[in-house]
Amino acid sequence: MVIEVKVPSPGESITEVEIESWLVESGTFVEMDAELAEINSDKATLTVNAEQGGVIEILVEEGETVEVGQTIAKIDTAAEGAATSDAAAPAKTVDAPVETAALVTQGTGFAAGHPSPSAEKMMKEKGINPADVQGSGRDGRVTKTDVVNAKPAAKAAPAPAPKAEPKKEARPLPGLPTLSGGTERVQRREKMSSLRRKIADRLVSVKNETAMLTTFNEVDLSEVMAIRKKYKEQFKEHHGVGLGFMSFFTKAVTMALKDFPGVNAQIDGKEIVYHDYADIGIAVSSERGLVVPVIRDAHLMSLAQMEQSVLHYALKARANKITVEDMTGGTFTITNGGVFGSMLSTPIINPPQSAILGMHNIVQRPVAVNGEVKIRPIMYVALSYDHRIIDGKEAVSFLFKVKERLEDPSRMLLEI
């Protein structure tokens, strides 16, 4: 009779295992419940045992991945020695025919001198040399009884314990440095101004109430800087104000808002409010914090008028004379962290507006121009927008329009 050895299930949800190693060789006799192989799964390592004794035929090599329930070996229970157990082996030897007894005595059977798995385990535990044990089982197989009756080999004298090395003295830890100026550590508390509390509340509400996202681009300001260098003295003489970057950015923004009115809109309940004008908020730093006065009808202004408006609110903020009316309204905001050295940021929307443009510092960077590497004044720009009202495509396209007009200022003068 031939029985199949199948892979047991290591656990729920496991469908495959790996044959880690075979503990027996193909063609050898195995006893009932003997460990045949070790299998590995994601959760545990298990052993496969023989359901009955017999000669095993291994069907799967070590290291192979098999499915749970797959047949990995066969055991022929009718093969020679399959029905023999260690306990019954001596009795059957007495009743054996003369020819068989002679084979056992002479040790000429195919199993002569080979211990059973349990006998082999016992020999290792008792330190017995297999050559010193005479097998009395069928065909000369070494049984557990043979091992019990055998004398264990003399144990080798234990090796002398290595001399303990003298302990090294622990090196003392270095002391902490002594600080000058005493040990007094002072804390102080100041009441938040109403403006700071208002700013904090508004910024937190923006993060909680809008689906804010930021997109980035870079602008080559070579042309803008060339115009400023060429005409700044004449501009200041004629208009009484310096020619800065803010007027160029404001002009580029107001023109791009005409192309993308959604960036200039806001949400009011379940409605979207679009504006056919551009009231641009300019973030200005003051002693009381960041304030955002609004330049009304910026889309109608010239560069000189924009510069005059920016200067007016900057001086007013430094004198702490900005009023609530100055900061009321606004359809879009521009903030310039570059004056403080910021390279990149994600500005927060000024509610109820839907977008804000962040300017940053100008850095000389190598860029590819017509296949050549050149050093150009580059600024990173960021547009934060409310994704509830402005799609990503619209936001990216708007920022690219601003970039195009800043890199070619003549387009602003020609209004194209």
CB 348 within 8 A of CB 338: no
Give the C-alpha separation, 298 to 251, whole Å: 8
Look up residue 332 and give its two tokens. Answer: 């879009």
What string of pLDDT tens digits covers the 416 residues of the chain? 888 988 887 766 677 888 878 888 888 998 888 888 888 775 566 788 888 888 999 998 887 888 888 999 989 888 765 444 444 444 444 444 434 344 334 444 555 667 766 677 777 777 777 777 777 665 676 776 777 777 655 555 566 666 666 667 778 888 888 777 666 778 889 887 666 777 788 788 888 888 999 999 999 999 999 999 999 999 999 999 999 999 999 999 999 999 999 999 999 999 999 999 999 999 887 776 778 899 999 999 999 999 999 999 989 888 888 887 898 889 999 999 988 899 999 999 988 899 999 999 999 999 999 999 999 999 999 999 999 999 999 999 999 999 999 999 988 877 77
Is the torsion defined by CA of 198, 204, 207, 209 positive or negative?
A: negative
Give the C-alpha separation, 320 to 285, whole Å: 11
Encode pLDDT of 58-78 as tens digits: 998 887 888 888 999 989 888
Contact partners, residue 18, CB within 8 Å, separation at least 6:
39, 40, 41, 63, 64, 65, 66
Question: Which CB contacts under 8 angstroms, 24+ apart, belong to 119-123?
Answer: 119/86, 119/143, 119/144, 119/146, 119/147, 122/147, 122/148, 123/147, 123/150
Contact partners, residue 347, CB within 8 Å, separation at least 6:
214, 333, 335, 337, 356, 357, 358, 382, 384
CB 75 within 8 A of CB 54: yes
Of 56, 55, 93, 87, residue with least CA distance to 72: 56
Ordered domains of the chain (ranges, CATH): 2-76 (2.40.50.100), 89-149 (4.10.320.10), 197-414 (3.30.559.10)
Look up residue 399 and give its two tokens. Answer: 């920022």
Ramachandran class of 251: left when φ > 0, alpha when ψ lies in -120 to 50, beta otherwise: alpha
Give the H or E element holding residue 73: strand 71-76
* Percent of the chain as helix, strand, coil, to the nearest 5: 35, 25, 45
Half-sphere exposure of residue 240, counting CA atoms within 13 Å on the CB side? 5
SS3 for 123?
helix
Of 306, 201, 292, 184, residue with least CA distance to 244: 306
Alpha-carbon 277 to chain mean position: 46
SS3 for 293?
coil
Q: What is the pLDDT of residue 85?
A: 44
Encode pLDDT of 98-114 as tens digits: 343 443 344 445 556 67
Give the C-alpha separation, 321 to 343, whole Å: 30
Give the C-alpha separation, 300 to 263, whole Å: 18
- Decide: residue 276, CB within 10 A, 0-12 exposed, 13-18 middle, 19+ buried: exposed
Give the C-alpha separation, 210 to 208, whole Å: 6
Q: What is the pLDDT of residue 349?
A: 92
Active site residue 42: no
Give the C-alpha separation, 113 to 237, whole Å: 115
Q: What is the pLDDT of residue 99?
A: 42
Q: Strands 332-336 and 280-282: what pairing?
A: parallel
Q: Provide the edge-to-edge strand list for the sheet that holds 2-6.
A: 2-6, 71-76, 54-58, 29-30
Give the C-alpha separation, 293 to 281, whole Å: 6
Give the C-alpha separation, 56 to 77, whole Å: 9
Give the C-alpha separation, 216 to 402, whole Å: 12
Active site residue 76: no
Look up residue 197 and give its two tokens. Answer: 């509390």
- Longest alpha-carbon distance in the chain: 134
SS3 for 310?
helix
SS3 for 53?
coil
Contact partners, residue 207, CB within 8 Å, separation at least 6:
348
Catalytic residue of the set 132, 259, 297, 387: 387
Q: 75 pairs with which residues across the strands? A: 3, 56
DSSP-assigned letter for residue 264 = G
